[in-house]
């Protein structure tokens, strides 16, 4: 894996700015990959062995995606909307997985690790670079059973909504009454159609 500063620079470029979330995301991804035995996750063959579950859609997520190469469109990046600064790194080949949570206490330690910096945001950013991993993260070994319908690779599962005719991929269909339906037809939509 490349050096931290190189990855941080690349991540900041890809994301659009540098911030403490980028630092956390890059360090989280580097440590996560190390713990599950992947050192070149963006390259073949390792790119096919990694799935990452992120639990927030903020800056750190982009950093994790940059460092590891996981992408939503590749089905290697999974978004679990928990609102927690955490990510789980899964090695599909060995089954090894770790969940890494960014500690809230790290925010309060910023002054200790970067006393030379007065600007609060800059202080956090620098402190997170210097901070011990133990202080920055809570890490635990976990087991993730990835469903066949969540696996990367060609589409294996297709169904057709019996109400609207929409093709539904990856077993996201539901059975309501005795009809196979897409989720919008069965559960409602997140949008409201605009009638002209």
Which position among 17, 116, 175, 192 is part of the footprint of other proteins (CB under 8 A)? 175
Q: Please identify, among the stretches 53-61, 96-104, 109-117, 149-157, the one whose residues bind other proteins according to the rule CB under 8 A.
A: 149-157
> Which residues ranging from 84 to 103 are in contact with other proteins (CB under 8 A)?
92, 95
Q: Please identify, among the stretches 17-25, 28-36, 107-115, 143-151, the one whose residues bind other proteins according to the rule CB under 8 A.
A: 143-151
Q: Does 117 bind other proteins (CB under 8 A)?
A: no
Q: Does 120 bind other proteins (CB under 8 A)?
A: no
Q: Does 159 bind other proteins (CB under 8 A)?
A: yes
Long-range contacts of 57-61 (CB under 8 A, 24+ apart): 57/81, 58/21, 58/85, 59/15, 59/19, 59/21, 59/22, 59/25, 60/21, 60/22, 60/24, 60/25, 60/28, 60/85, 60/87, 60/102, 61/25, 61/87
Rounded CA separation 17/12 (Å): 5
Which position among 34, 120, 156, 169 is part of the footprint of other proteins (CB under 8 A)? 156
Which position among 157, 164, 167, 169 is part of the footprint of other proteins (CB under 8 A)? 157
Q: Does 174 bind other proteins (CB under 8 A)?
A: yes
Please work out, in degrees rounded to the nearest 5, the angle formed at the alpha carbon of residue 40 by the alpha carbons of 36 and 46. 70
Read off φ and ψ for residue 155, nearest 5 degrees.
-65, 125
Contact residues: other proteins, CB under 8 A = 92, 95, 145-151, 156-157, 159, 171, 173-178, 180, 186-187
């Amino acid at each position: 894996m490349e050096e931290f500063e190189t990855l941080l620079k690349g991540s900041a470029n890809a994301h659009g700015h540098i911030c403490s979330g980028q630092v956390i995301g890059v360090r989280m991804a580097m440590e996560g990959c190390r713990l599950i035995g992947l050192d070149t996750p963006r390259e073949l063959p390792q790119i096919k062995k990694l799935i990452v579950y992120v639990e927030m859609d903020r800056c750190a997520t982009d950093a994790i995606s940059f460092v590891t190469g996981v992408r939503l469109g590749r089905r290697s990046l999974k978004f679990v909307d928990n609102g927690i600064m955490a990510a789980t790194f899964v090695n599909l080949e060995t089954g090894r997985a770790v969940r890494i949570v960014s500690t809230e206490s790290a925010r309060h330690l910023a002054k200790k690790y970067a006393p030379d910096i007065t600007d609060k945001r800059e202080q956090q950013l620098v402190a997170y670079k210097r901070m011990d991993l133990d202080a920055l993260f809570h890490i635990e070994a976990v087991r993730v059973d990835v469903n066949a319908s969540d696996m990367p690779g060609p589409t294996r599962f297709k169904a057709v909504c019996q109400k609207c005719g929409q093709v539904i991929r990856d077993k996201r269909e539901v059975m309501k009454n005795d009809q196979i339906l897409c989720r919008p037809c069965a559960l409602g939509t997140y949008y409201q159609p605009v009638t002209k």
